[in-house]
Amino acid sequence: MNWKHVALVLAVLPFVAILVAWIGFFNVGASSGHWKITNWFLHFAMRSAVRTYALAVDVPAELPRHAIQPAAGHFARGCAICHGAPGEPRSPAVMRMLPQPPDLSFSVGEWTDAQLFRIVKHGIRFTGMPAWPTLDRDDEVWAMVAFLRELPSLDAVAYRELAYGSGRLVDDALSSRFERALDSCIRCHGRDGLGRSPVTPILAGQNEAYLLGSLGAYQQHQRASGFMTLAVTGVEPEDLPELARYFANLPAPAAPAKTAQPDLAARGEAIARKGRAADRIPACLSCHESARNPAYPRLDGLDSAYIGTQLRLFREGRRGGTRYAHLMEVVAKGLDDRDIEALAAYFASRGPPAAGETE
């Protein structure tokens, strides 16, 4: 066969493929599964692609184990239905999917951290595996990777406590719409609104207007969070004011224990009270003091991990949120990493003001 014959075959081949597709020869039904060679090739191509694209992933020195609780809650809402979970086997319908979603308790060890990050963030085409709800929250994706590393060691009791905590599994037929929405919230934020992990904000005693604005921003995809995007899906907009009111009316947390980093907190206090004019940073307390605009959040007592994450997101232009978010983006650009650590340490060390105190 000379080059002319090769060229002719290559020219005709696309038309043959189109003809075969038009005739409908290839069976797209999922009942019979793939041919063995097709199944091998698809898995080979998928694994090769994940391995190649994972080379560009910058893996942190340590996975954020402190953030696995909200990741577990997200897994219970959006992942366990296909992948199963300890004490929650997959349904027969899922077992007939093509390709069949793997039981991650057994298969997660086949992937590196970078490869898991790639799969969780971007999903896998031609399967039921979606991309993360937002591509702007790598911190959440790494939290999910950390949870997946823990998953094989969890029994049903440990998994249930991590994913649901005191949140009750409501009966859709007997519970009100608000109770179902609240059940989704307290899995991560707790019935007391104090949060169940360092990266979950305290909602108890928070400004009602701020909570309502944030819930609306999540629902309208103006504030990025894969965890919250799934949590507010299906919540009716008219139920948001009642949710905001519920958490705002809970008792604010007591003053936290004395900070273990007083020098760092002192540096944060200087910025919070006086700002830094050279870098166009105003005093944080000029807006975030308790008696100021109720549309601004109270920062007192929030965990330093949560505050630090939000400030970095603002600095990177990835936070979004209420109509005042653009103000924080400008301010955060003047903060370096040490400034963020200091401010996070300072506000985490503050308790609620005493009765009648406005500071």
**Cβ(149)–Cβ(67) below 8 Å:** no
Domain boundaries, the chain: 45-53+63-164, 177-248, 262-349
pLDDT for 172: 60
CA-nearest of 206, 194, 199 to 297 is: 206
Region at 334 (left for phi over 0; alpha for psi -120 to 50; beta for the rest): alpha
**Cβ(255)–Cβ(279) below 8 Å:** no
| Cross-strand pairs, 276 | 281
Q: Is 6 exposed, middle or buried (0-12, 13-18, 19+ CB in 10 A)?
A: exposed
pLDDT means over runs of 10, the chain (359 residues): 76 84 80 85 94 97 97 95 93 88 94 98 93 96 98 96 77 74 92 95 94 95 94 92 96 75 93 95 90 86 95 94 89 96 94 52
pLDDT for 358: 46
**Please, which residues have CB within 8 angstroms of residue 324's CB and are 6 or more apart in sequence?**
295, 296
Q: What's the sign of the alpha-carbon dihedral 309, 315, 321, 324?
A: positive
CATH 1.10.760 describes domain 45-53+63-164: yes
Angle at 326 between CA 321 and CA 330, to 5 degrees: 135
DSSP state of 205: T
Q: CATH number of the domain at 262-349, please?
A: 1.10.760.10
Q: How far is CA 227 from CA 75, 165, 309, in A?
A: 9, 16, 14
* CB atoms closer than 10 angstroms to residue 210: 21
Fold match between domain 45-53+63-164 and domain 177-248: yes
Pick the CATH number of 177-248 from 3.20.20.80, 3.90.79.10, 3.40.630.10, 1.10.760.10: 1.10.760.10
- Residue written as token pair 């870098």: 279
Tokens of 155: 């029994």
Backbone φ, ψ for residue 229 (5° rounding): -60, -45
pLDDT for 40: 92
Counting DSSP H helices and E strands in the chain, the numbers are 18, 0
Q: Is 18 exposed, middle or buried (0-12, 13-18, 19+ CB in 10 A)?
A: exposed
CA distance 301 to 177: 31
pTM of the entire predicted model: 0.90
Q: How far is CA 1 from CA 14, 17, 82, in A?
A: 20, 22, 51
**Please, which residues have CB within 8 angstroms of residue 317's CB and are 6 or more apart in sequence?**
329
Region at 321 (left for phi over 0; alpha for psi -120 to 50; beta for the rest): left
HSE-up (13 A, CA, CB side) for residue 95: 4
Tokens of 253: 């947390």
Q: How far is CA 319 from CA 121, 227, 329, 349, 351, in A?
A: 18, 14, 8, 24, 25
* CB atoms closer than 10 angstroms to residue 66: 14
Dihedral Cα 173, 176, 178, 183, nearest 10 deg: -50
Region at 87 (left for phi over 0; alpha for psi -120 to 50; beta for the rest): left
Q: Residue 228 is which amino acid?
A: M
**Cβ(144)–Cβ(165) below 8 Å:** no
